[in-house]
A = this chain, B = another copy of it.
Amino acid sequence: MSTVAHTKTKPGFHKTAETVEAGAKTLPQRYFVSPDVFAREQEEIFAKQWVLVGHQSQISKAGDYFVANVANESLIIVLDQKSTIRGFYNVCRHRGTRLREDRSGHASAIQCPYHAWTYALDGRLIGAPHMDEVPGFNKADYSLNAVNLALWEGFIYVNLAESPAPLEEWFAPLAGKFSHWNLPTLRSAKRIEYDVRANWKLLFENYSECYHCPGVHPMLSKVSPYDSAENDLTDGPFLGGFMRITKGNSLTMSGNSCALPVGDVSSEDFHRVFYYSIFPNMLLSMHPDYVMVHQLWPQSPDRTLIYCDWFFHPEAAGAGQPGETGITDPGYKFNPEDAIEFWDMTNKQDWHVCELSQQGIASRAYEPGPYSSRESIPAAWDREYLRQME
């Protein structure tokens, strides 16, 4: 077990307690229970902002696709013949039929299962039986409806708005910040889906503080002190910083590293975990040897689906198991389950207390409560959310 010397905080990082705003309180009840607020969030945020739907590594060959659900819309995300990633509404232009039912797959074209209208991977209608008998019908008028799509650090983002501001503009404040983590090259070894009976904002607020860690996460608290957070992003749509690993080399069940380092990590970062929330639906958790990414998908005021992926160095899987012969010791063994198990346990602890909050907040006795000095980031997240909803 290594211990960490008292590292000097980088410029820009500061202790949470210093940034708390006086008198900050939790959001009023309606934000967590009102179907009207929920509908407005879907319309104003999830149907207008850039939202995370996946990673480019999910569709690496032309014809690979997966289906994403954004603001009640089913979208086909596909790599076309020219290696461009495209997004389309999963709806036939003839009689509205859902085109793809499976969640992911490979196809050389997109054919409707009902009347066999056929679309190329770039969305052009290339087959429509008997439609040439219809006067005035022109295939070019019936391409699949496209959705705005762009990449950030290898992650696929879509935007349902008609003419959104470019993704680059939105992410400008983070330009270059994460380059050394090599996020575009990583590959997910595992996805777990969680169905949580809590409002999506409670999950962001939960992620944004470790004030709850001593009681909720006994194992995490032992290796990463709850009061070790230092944040460099403390206002706006991108929030967070790092916490220290004071026992072991990573957040795993064993305490050992479980894979090749993912990034070009400096030595002090080998004992840090970086936690950032990316408004409105991404949680980005960077460990020395793996990156965990949560996608949050609000389903109703009191229900959220969460996709959690564990990403590793693309060559990590090449490492042998301990005791195998003929394998040069890479200095670690590739054991993704060591990380996955740790966070699956920790995730569930979080979801549980968020569900308890959802229950209590629905009470007539609930009124906004005071954030502590350890909850400056949740308070900042709430401020950004209110700005977006204005």
Q: Is A318 on the interface with B (CB-CB < 8 A)?
A: no
Chain B residues whose C-beta falls within 8 Å of the C-beta of A361 in the assembled complex? 91, 95-96
Q: Does A99 have its Cβ within 8 Å of any Cβ on chain B?
A: yes
Per the bound structure, the CA–CA distance linking A89 and B369 in Å amounts to 15
CA distance A114 to B101 in the complex (A): 40
Is A363's CB under 8 angstroms from B96's CB? Answer: yes
> B residues within 8 A CB of A101?
356
Task: Kindly state the separation between the CA atoms of A134 and B145 in the bound complex, as whole angstroms.
Answer: 52
A75-112 interface (Cβ within 8 A of B): 89-99, 101
A363 proximity list for chain B (CB < 8 A) = 73-74, 89-91, 96
Q: Please state if B372 and A129 are interface contacts (CB–CB under 8 Å).
A: yes
Q: Pick the contact of A96: B145, B216, B366, B371 (CB < 8 A).
A: B366
Q: Is A219 an interface residue when CB atoms closer than 8 A count as contact?
A: no
Q: Which of B92, B360, B365 contacts A369 (CB 8 A)?
A: B92
Q: How far is the CA of A4 from the CA of B363 in the complex (A)?
A: 53
From B116, B211, B365, contact of A214 by CB (8 A): B116
Known A-B contacts A74-B363, A373-B134; the reply to A211 vs B92 at CB < 8 A is no
With A95-B357, A98-B359, A356-B97 known as contacts, the answer to whether A372 contacts B133 (CB < 8 A) is yes
Residues of B contacting A212 in the complex (Cβ-Cβ under 8 angstroms) = 114-115
Q: Once bound together, how far apart are the Cα atoms of A251 and B115, in whole Å?
A: 22
Closest B residue by C-beta to A365: B89
Determine which of B17, B91, B353 lies in contact with A97 in the assembled complex, contact meaning CB atoms within 8 Å.
Answer: B353
Q: Is there a chain B Cβ closer than 8 Å to A26's Cβ?
A: yes
Least CB distance from A202 to B in Å reads: 8
By the criterion CB–CB under 8 Å, are A216 and B113 in contact?
yes
Residues of B within 8 A of A214 (CB): 116
A374 nearest CB neighbor, chain B only? B130
Q: Quick check: B97 and A373 within 8 Å, CB to CB?
A: no
Please tell me if A322 contacts chain B, counting CB pairs below 8 Å. no
Asked if B360 and A130 sit within 8 Å, CB to CB, the answer is no
Residues of B within 8 A of A113 (CB): 215-216, 353, 356
How far apart sit A353 and B372, CA to CA, in the bound complex (Å)? 54
Query: How far apart sit A152 and B204, CA to CA, in the bound complex (Å)?
Result: 46
Q: Is the CB of B372 within 8 A of A130?
A: yes
- Nearest to A160 among chain B residues (CB) is B364
Is A164 an interface residue when CB atoms closer than 8 A count as contact? no
Residue of B nearest to A131 (CB): B372
Task: Indicate whether A323 reaches chain B with its CB closer than 8 angstroms.
Answer: no
18 A–B contacts from the bound complex (CB under 8 Å): A20-B134, A26-B95, A72-B362, A94-B370, A96-B369, A97-B359, A98-B356, A98-B357, A113-B216, A113-B356, A114-B212, A114-B215, A115-B215, A129-B211, A129-B372, A130-B211, A142-B369, A142-B370
Q: Which 3 A-B pairs have the closest CB atoms?
A: A89-B365, A96-B361, A133-B373
A113-B216, A114-B216, A116-B215 known; 5 new pairs, CB 8 Å cut-off, are A98-B356, A98-B357, A130-B374, A137-B370, A142-B369
